[in-house]
Structure 1
Amino acid sequence: MSELQQNSSDRIHNAIRQYLESLQRSGIRQLPRLPDMAPSLATRAAGQPAHAASAVSEATSTQTVPIATSIDQPIALAHSDNIAAPVSQGAMTEPVQTSPPSVEPDPLAALDRVRREVMHCTLCHELAQTRTQTVFGTGNPSARLCFLGEAPGADEDRQGEPFVGAAGRLLDKIIQACTLKREDVYILNVLKCRPPNNRTPLPEETANCRNFFERQLAIIQPEFICCLGAVASQTLLRTTQSLGRLRGQWHDYQGIRVMVTYHPAYLLRAPDRKRDTWEDMKMLMHEMGIELPAR
């Protein structure tokens, strides 16, 4: 085999491997085995009736093949603690989108399976090398309302829980002002690892993590999502519109009503925007049927 042929074969193998990995991260375990055409062709060449060849084909077409056996090295399944194989960021594509699963009988256990997957994820090489730990999510696994933020900061990276620093304390106050407790809602970020120096997440990083946060939301099945900041809003809604254009109106994500507002970290730098945020919260609480005390 020439060097050119070998390089082409390697590229095809890597592309197939990445595709199978993305299917596994999406929860797909088996693929149907394609019917073996060789027996049918050989039978017809020997003059055997076509219906006999058809029987051979049907016998092979009902089998399924576990994805892990389709590649030379098995990849960790959703419930495994093995480390996911790294993929070059330059060749990264968004994970395969699948239909949301049915209602989980035990959402806490389902979330824990995804959490263990996140713990061992190394898709974003830089983040995997610089993080202290991954930051999955916290709160009520059956919450009506989810708060979706951008990415962990230094405090979250140390403690392993989202929104525990100064921005987190402000979010707690916002939740309390809505007559709710942190335990009533579910809080998560788009990214599960802290970007170095709290830089803005890169597009390939949000693409790598989309599979994880979408599965969290599919398990929790909230009625409402409140996106905190531009990154969370644009990523979830797949839009490039500015936060200013997205605020003040309802959006839809797979049948879930989505409200967009400012990130608490931004409110710490621009306290004059707190009034706008409170207007967003009032709109959200009204839609949820929660009566707020007069202020």
Structure 2
Amino acid sequence: MDLATSLSRAQLRELLAFYAEAGVDEAVSETPIDRFAETEQDKAQRAASVAKPTTPATPGSDRGRAAPSLARTAAPPAPSPAQRPQTAAVPDGSQAALARELARSASTLEELREILLSFDGCNLKATAKNLVFADGNPQADLMLVGEAPGRDEDLEGLPFVGRSGQLLDRILAAIGRDRGSAYIANVIPWRPPGNRDPSPMETEICRPFIERQIELAAPKVLVTLGNPSTKALLKTQDGITKSRGSWRDYVTASGMTIPTMPTLHPAYLLRNPAHKKFAWRDFLEIKARLEAEQQ
């Protein structure tokens, strides 16, 4: 007695449903085939038999009838263009190339800011209220770079003015600095909607501008705040907890080398106050390096 005759109709339905859920939707031969033993001629004959049109069935005959698929359902009709959800335009590689060209053309920080004000190649600009270019003193020997503006920054058009910025001000004060003796910017100058993470393409489009901004500011020491800015500027795949606390070299397009300290972002420190001790160590290193640069 074979398996089919030993099962009830209900059991057969359950078995077929199990096969369908497992992805088994083709009827196969009961005779096993050793695929490794097949010759090229066997494979060709088998392929030809599969491609051969099915012979029309004659009345009273099952010959030529296709094997039924198990629990196969028809695909839903594709939505019409009017029904498809509309998505925001995604910037492409040509915009990144244009950004590189425009960034190189800026000879001053003010020119770079004006270029960004008129640049429409990044879709983040369409949803942001303001360009968040920089704050502080562009002639300072210390420059700090974060990832992207948040809600408060977008409203005021200045980086690090919310709770993260207040903590950053306290950190700077602890090493004898303030915004008058530091220059602060972000990799992304427009707020991503809903404070989402910038996409890799958005970062790639904005990267030439922050790289040119660093080059024009020419600080003695650069600080990357958090994982995204560290990865974008130092081109490393290491996480910030591994990167922080160790000096790296940032090399500009003109070949200028700037000592760079990756450290934890103030927003991360607000969520993990126990890790402030690590940031404090990093900023003591930064203070010592700046003092050495002044001698």
* Common topology (TM > 0.5): yes
Q: Write the mapping of 1:120-139 to structure 2, written as runs, cut at 5 A.
A: 120-125=118-123, 127-139=124-136
2:287 alignment partner in structure 1:
285
**Equivalents in 2 of 1:132, 1:181: separation in Å?**
27
Q: What's the Cα RMSD here?
A: 2.6
1:187-214 deviations in Å (ceiling 9; x for gaps) = 0000000011111111111111111111
- TM-score normalized by structure 1? 0.63
1:36 alignment partner in structure 2:
none
Deviation of 1:92 after TM superposition, in Å, equals 4.6
1:118 alignment partner in structure 2:
116
**Equivalents in 2 of 1:179, 1:91: separation in Å?**
43
Q: Does 1:194 align with 2:191?
A: yes
1:16 alignment partner in structure 2:
none
1:141 alignment partner in structure 2:
138
| Letter paired with 1:191 | I
List runs of 5+ in structure 1 lacking aligned partners: 1-86, 105-109, 291-295
1:215-235 deviations in Å (ceiling 9; x for gaps) = 111111011111100001000
| Letter paired with 2:160 | F
Q: Write the mapping of 1:1-295 to structure 2, written as runs, cut at 5 A.
A: 89-92=91-94, 94-95=96-97, 110-125=108-123, 127-254=124-251, 255-289=257-291
Deviation of 1:245 after TM superposition, in Å, equals 1.6
Is contact 2:95–2:121 with CA below 8 Å preserved after alignment? no
List runs of 5+ in structure 2 lacking aligned partners: 1-88, 252-256
1:132-177 deviations in Å (ceiling 9; x for gaps) = 0110001112111100001000000000000000100000000100
1:62-109 deviations in Å (ceiling 9; x for gaps) = xxxxxxxxxxxxxxxxxxxxxxxxx952445744868x98xx7xxxxx
**Equivalents in 1 of 2:240, 2:246: separation in Å?**
11
**Equivalents in 1 of 2:90, 2:158: separation in Å?**
28
Is contact 1:119–1:133 with CA below 8 Å preserved after alignment? no
Is contact 1:150–1:190 with CA below 8 Å preserved after alignment? yes
| Letter paired with 2:268 | Y
Is contact 1:92–1:204 with CA below 8 Å preserved after alignment? no
| Letter paired with 1:259 | M
**Equivalents in 1 of 2:182, 2:264: separation in Å?**
18
Is contact 2:95–2:122 with CA below 8 Å preserved after alignment? no
Identical counterparts, % of pairs:
39
| Letter paired with 1:264 | P
